[in-house]
Structure 1
Amino acid sequence: METLKYRFEGRTAPSSRLDHVLVGVVSSGNLEVLIEPVPLDGAMEIEITTAARGFGQIWQAVLDDFAARHALKDVRITIHDVGATPAVVSLRLDQAVETLQEGGDA
């Protein structure tokens, strides 16, 4: 297992009152994304635990793209990965943000 940590400056606070959002499932080739609003001085922190070691540059590229599209502030994102492709990672992250912004009605 490998743990990767990233921090991005955010611009937009989540509009939801939910205390967390969880999407996805940890199983072969997939991942789970947990988003929690927490005070982080305007930052977004992302921590990944992955079974696929040595893909830090790919994670960085996927998360740079995500942070450019969703510059959330004061949120912690936790990802548990079992070898998901970058497309699945992006899909799950977008799904989690959409669920958070809709207040959990998705």
Structure 2
Amino acid sequence: MEQFTYTYKTTEPITKKVHIGVVGSGDLEILLFPTDKQETSVKVCTGSDGFKDVWHNVLTRFFDRYPISADMVINDFGATPGVVYLRLTQAMEELSDEK
């Protein structure tokens, strides 16, 4: 099991909590919490060792497109990069429902 943290400079604060997905085989959950900071901290807990660079690439691509400011927790159980990006996109859809 690995745990790591990333920080991204961001500009668009969120105003509500979001929970997407489940911790299950080949899946993950994403928790988003509002923050007053102009950055997003991402804490990843994954059962798959050796994928830190892959996580960094997927998250960087996401925050380049969606610069939301939040505290994010990702609990992973072997999700592929495609599933990770899908869950992140679902979180954005949930946030857009508030507008």
Q: Which residue of 1 aligns with 2:23?
A: 26
1:84 alignment partner AA? A
| Secondary structure at 1:47 match in 2 | strand
Q: Shift in Å at residue 101 of structure 1?
A: 2.6
Q: What TM-score comes out, normalization by structure 2 length?
A: 0.93
Q: Shift in Å at residue 90 of structure 1?
A: 0.3
The one-character-per-residue Cα deviations of 1:41-90 (angstroms, maximum 9, x if unpaired) are x00111100000110000010001001011112x0110000010000000
Q: For structure 1, which runs of at least 5 residues remain unmatched after alignment?
A: none
Number of residue pairs matched by the alignment:
99
Give the CA RMSD over aligned residues. 1.3
1:79 aligns with 2:74: yes
User: 4+ residue runs of structure 1 moved beyond 4 angstroms?
Assistant: none
Larger relative strand fraction: 2
Q: What TM-score comes out, normalization by structure 1 length?
A: 0.88
Q: Shift in Å at residue 92 of structure 1?
A: 0.2
Q: Shift in Å at residue 103 of structure 1?
A: 2.2
Q: Within 2, Cα distance between the matches of 1:100 and 1:36?
A: 11
Q: For structure 2, which runs of at least 5 residues remain unmatched after alignment?
A: none
Identity of aligned residues (%): 36
